[in-house]
Homo-oligomer: A and B are copies of this chain.
Amino acid sequence: VTPHKLNIVPFVSVDSMMKLVLAIGVETVLTEMAQYIEQDYANWKNFDKTARVASHSHDGVIELMPTSDGNLYSFKYVNGHPKNTKQGLQTVTAFGVLADVASGYPVLLSEMTILTALRTAAMSALAAKYLAPKNAQTLALIGNGAQSEFQAIAFKAILGMKQLRLYDIDRAASHRCAKNLEGMGFSVTVCNTSQEAIEGAHVITTVTADKQYATILTDNMVGSGVHINAVGGDCPGKTELHKDILLRSDIFVEFTPQTRIEGEIQQLTADHPVTEFWQVVSGTAKGRSSDQQITLFDSVGFAIEDFSALRYVRDKLVQTKHFDELDLIADPDEPRDLFGMLLRAAAA
């Protein structure tokens, strides 16, 4: 989308994002978004990579996550405030911008609360495509909150996994998740314990919201050959897995310097070996190498995934037309005459 006026930036609101996703179809969106992420991970070496820029406060954190591949630039604004739900607010809200590196002009402003749930699920399933055991059919989903349905649909769309085993400390959350997924071709079992949920599972996804060191899985629960998709351990002081599981696993991460601080591996020494996922995508490192191996994707969410997601949304604007036009960029007739623009507005 090239705006017809220099002052205009396309804006995808929450409502537009829902319409865009529904128009294309959630499964298709997740499948295509995973392809965009895969392309960008294959291009890893050309990206500017920095850890988040975080502003911590008593009740939460506000972060900026910028990156660039030299042609496009993106950043995401995202907060994390666990107590927000008590006031009926979202724990995490987000929005982001895609910009043209050559001119510095923004080319897209988008809500990213929904988009982050989509890109996280797409990333999880993409990693599992390389790391899960062959013919994986059963997914255990531990933590059935805001991200759970997106995770389930991504694994079905991208890996064909239809057997779902749900567990949440709030049983109502599991039932809501099961109900939301009705009619989509899943076979769903709501479980009473996390132990029960992972029985027979080929992939275990942990996506809980506890902001503390928690032990959602203990070592004796995890058998050989599974793939663990650890999504919920994503900030300092917040982990989900017992350390002994990590020691038995081959660990894959997004961007090591960030994951050492935020991921499950904050429990390990700083020199514990990990593989960056881009190496697997580009073929310079192995993904799964045996049926017995426990693979662990220690996912904390990285700026490149947001970049891919924004790039995907931008590419879909022409087709779906679900966007508004924001008058965001001052466009004087003569670039050096900004004040003259104000004078002409006064005269008009």
Contacts and interface: CB of A to CB of B under 8 A. Distances in A.
Contacts of A103: 59-60, 79, 81, 84, 87, 89
Given A26-B342, A91-B335, A113-B330, A57 B176 contact: no
Contact of A77 (B15, B53, B90, B97): B97
Category for how many chain A residues contact B: 35 or more
A55 B62 contact: no
A330 B16 CA distance: 11
Given A53-B53, A328-B13, A176 B337 contact: yes
A295 to B, nearest CB: 27
A345 B66 CA distance: 31
A253 B336 CA distance: 26
Given A68-B55, A103-B81, A13 B327 contact: yes
A119 B343 CA distance: 18
Interface stretch (A123-131, A146-154, A221-229, A272-280): A146-154
B93 A346 contact: no
Interface string A107-122: 0000101100100000
Contacts of A53: 50, 53, 64, 66
A104 B80 contact: yes
Given A79-B99, A114-B338, A6 B89 contact: yes
Contacts of A340: 176, 180
Contacts of A97: 77
A297 interface: no
B59 A64 contact: no
Given A70-B57, A80-B104, A345 B19 contact: yes
A88 interface: yes
A66 B55 contact: yes
A85 interface: yes
Interface in A64-101: 64, 66, 68, 70, 73, 75, 77, 79-81, 84-85, 87-91, 93, 95, 97, 99, 101
The 4 A-B pairs at the shortest CB distance, nearest first, are namely A79-B104, A113-B330, A149-B339, A13-B327
Interface of A: 6-7, 11, 13-15, 18-19, 21-22, 26, 48, 50, 53, 55, 57, 59-62, 64, 66, 68, 70, 73, 75, 77, 79-81, 84-85, 87-91, 93, 95, 97, 99, 101-106, 111, 113-114, 117, 145-150, 173, 176, 180, 326-332, 335-343, 345-346
Given A14-B328, A111-B327, 19 more contacts: A18-B345, A19-B345, A22-B346, A50-B53, A55-B68, A55-B73, A57-B102, A59-B103, A77-B97, A77-B99, A77-B106, A79-B103, A85-B335, A93-B105, A117-B338, A117-B339, A150-B338, A176-B336, A180-B339
